[in-house]
A and B are shown apart, each in its own frame.
Chain A
Amino acid sequence: MAEPFLIGDKMTGGYGAGPDILHDCTIAVERGEIAVIVGPNGAGKSTAMKALFGMLHLNGGAVRLDGETIDALSPQERVVKGMGFVPQTANIFTSMTVEENLEMGAFIRSDDFSDTMTQIYDLFPILKEKRNQAAGELSGGQRQQVAVGRALMTQPKVLMLDEPTAGVSPIVMDELFDRIIEVARTGIPILMVEQNARQALEIADKGFVLVQGRNAHTGTGKELLADADVRRSFLGG
Chain B
Amino acid sequence: MDFLNALVALANFVIVPGLAYGAQLAIGALGVTLIYGILRFSNFAHGDTMAFGTMATILATWGMQSYGISFGPLPTALLALPFGIAATALMLLGTDRVVYRFYRAQKAKPVILVIVSMGVMFIMNGVVRFIIGVRDIRFADGERFIISARDFKEMTGLREGLAIKTTQAITVVVAFVVVAALFYFLNRTRTGKSMRAFSDNEDLALLSGINPEHVVRVTWLIVAALATVAGVLYGLDKSFKAFTYFQLLLPIFASAVVGGLGNPLGAIGGGFVIAFSEVTITYAWKKVAVYLLPEQLEPTGLVQLLSTDYKFAVSFAILVVVLLFKPTGLFKGQSL
Is A79 among interface residues, defined by CB-CB distance under 8 A?
yes
Most buried by A among B206, B207, B336: B207
Q: How far is the CB of B202 from chain A (nearest CB, A)?
A: 9
Is A90 in contact with B204, judged by CB distance below 8 angstroms?
A: yes
In the complex, per-residue mask of A69-105: 1 if CB is within 8 Å of any chain B CB, else 0: 0000001100110000101001111111000100111
Q: Which residue of B lies closest to A94 (CB)?
A: B200
In the assembled complex, the CB of A17 is this many whole angstroms from the nearest CB of chain B, namely 16
Q: How close is A57's CB to chain B, nearest CB, in angstroms? A: 17
> Are A108 and B209 interface neighbours, CB within 8 A?
yes
**Cross-chain contact B194 with A95 (CB below 8 angstroms):** no
CA distance A104 to B209 in the complex (A): 9
Contact status of A90 and B203, CB under 8 A, knowing A103-B193, A104-B194? yes
Is the C-beta of A15 less than 8 angstroms from some C-beta in chain B? no
Q: Are B201 and A85 touching (Cβ within 8 A)?
A: no
B208 & A95 in contact (Cβ 8 Å cutoff):
no
Shortest Cβ distance from B335 into A: residue: A95
State which of A80, A94, A100 has its C-beta within 8 Å of the C-beta of B209.
Answer: A80
Partner of B204, one of A80, A93, A103, A108: A93
Please determine whether A75 and B193 come into contact, CB atoms closer than 8 angstroms.
no
- B170-206 CB mask vs A (1 if < 8 Å, else 0) is 0000000000000000000010011011001101111
**Could you tell me the distance between the alpha carbons of A202 and B152 in the complex, rounded to whole angstroms?**
82
**What CA separation (Å) do A87 and B203 show in the bound complex?**
10
A94 x B208 contact (CB < 8 A): no
Given contacts A94-B201, A95-B334, A95-B336, contact A85 B207 (CB under 8 A): yes
Contacts of A107 in B (CB 8 A): 190, 194, 197, 208-210
Contact B197 A104 (CB under 8 A): yes
Interface centre among B197, B204, B334 (most CB of A within 10 A): B204
From A95, A104, A108, residue with most partner B Cβ within 10 Å: A104
Q: Is A150 close to B, CB under 8 A? A: yes
Q: How far is the CA of A75 from the CA of B203 in the complex (A)?
A: 11
Secondary structure at the B interface, as helix, strand, loop or mixed, is helix
* A163 vs chain B, min Cβ distance (A): 16
- A76–B207 Cα distance when bound, in Å, is 6
State whether B204 touches A92 (Cβ < 8 A): yes
- Residues of B contacting A62 in the complex (Cβ-Cβ under 8 angstroms): none
Q: What CA separation (Å) do A104 and B204 show in the bound complex?
A: 9
A91 & B204 in contact (Cβ 8 Å cutoff)? yes
Decide yes or no whether A134 CB sits under 8 A from chain B: yes
Please judge, given known A-B contacts A105-B208, A150-B208, whether A96 and B193 are in contact too, CB under 8 Å.
yes
Residues in chain B near residue A154, CB distance under 8 A: 209
Contact digits for A6-41, partner B, Cβ 8 Å, 1 yes 0 no: 000000000000000000000000000000000000
Q: How far does the alpha carbon of A12 sit from the alpha carbon of B210 in the complex, in Å?
A: 30
A188 CB → nearest B CB, Å = 17
User: Is A104 within 8 A of B208, CB to CB?
Assistant: yes
Q: Which residues of A have CB within 8 Å of B206?
A: 75-76
Q: In the complex, what residues of B have CB within 8 A of residue A108's CB?
A: 208-209
Is there an interface contact between A87 and B196, defined as CB atoms closer than 8 Å? no
B residues less than 8 Å from A87 (CB atoms) = 203-204, 207
Instruction: State the Cβ distance, A76 to closest chain B Cβ, in Å.
Output: 6
From residue 202 to 252 of chain B, which have CB atoms closer than 8 A to chain A? 203-210
Q: Is the CB of A93 within 8 A of B207?
A: no
> Bound state CA distance, A96 and B207, in angstroms?
16
Given A76-B209, A108-B208, also A93-B197 (CB < 8 A) = yes
Question: Across the two chains, which residue of chain B brings its CB closest to A84?
Answer: B207
Report which of B190, B201, B209 forms a contact with A92, defined as CB distance below 8 A: B201
Closest to B210 in A: A107
Tell me the smallest distance from the CB of A97 to a CB of chain B, in Å: 10
B335 touches A104 (CB 8 A): no
Contacts of B205 on A, CB cut-off 8 Å?
A: 93, 104
Whether the Cβ atoms of B197 and A96 lie closer than 8 Å is yes
Chain A positions 133-173 with a Cβ under 8 Å from a chain B Cβ: 134, 150, 154
- Complex contact B208–A96 (CB within 8 A): no
Q: How distant is B38 from chain A, measured CB to nearest CB, in Å?
A: 13
Contacts of A90 in B (CB 8 A): 201, 203-204
Which of these, A75, A79, A93, A105, contacts B196 with CB under 8 Å?
A93
Which one, B210, B334, B336, contacts A104 given CB within 8 A?
Answer: B210
Q: Which residues of B contact A104 (CB under 8 A)?
A: 193-194, 197, 205, 208, 210
CB distance from A83 to the nearest CB of B (A): 10
**CB-nearest residue of chain B relative to A150?**
B208
User: Which residue of A is nearest B209, CB measured?
Assistant: A108
Collect the chain B residues with CB atoms within 8 Å of residue A103's CB.
Answer: 190, 193
What are 8 A-B residue pairs whose CB atoms fall within 8 Å in the complex? A76-B206, A87-B203, A92-B201, A96-B193, A100-B196, A103-B190, A104-B194, A107-B194
A95-B335, A107-B194 given; name 14 further pairs at CB < 8 Å.
Answer: A75-B206, A76-B206, A90-B201, A92-B201, A93-B196, A93-B201, A95-B196, A95-B334, A96-B334, A100-B196, A104-B193, A104-B194, A104-B205, A105-B208
Which chain A residues have a beta carbon within 8 Å of chain B's beta carbons?
Answer: 75-76, 79-80, 85, 87, 90-96, 100, 103-105, 107-108, 134, 150, 154
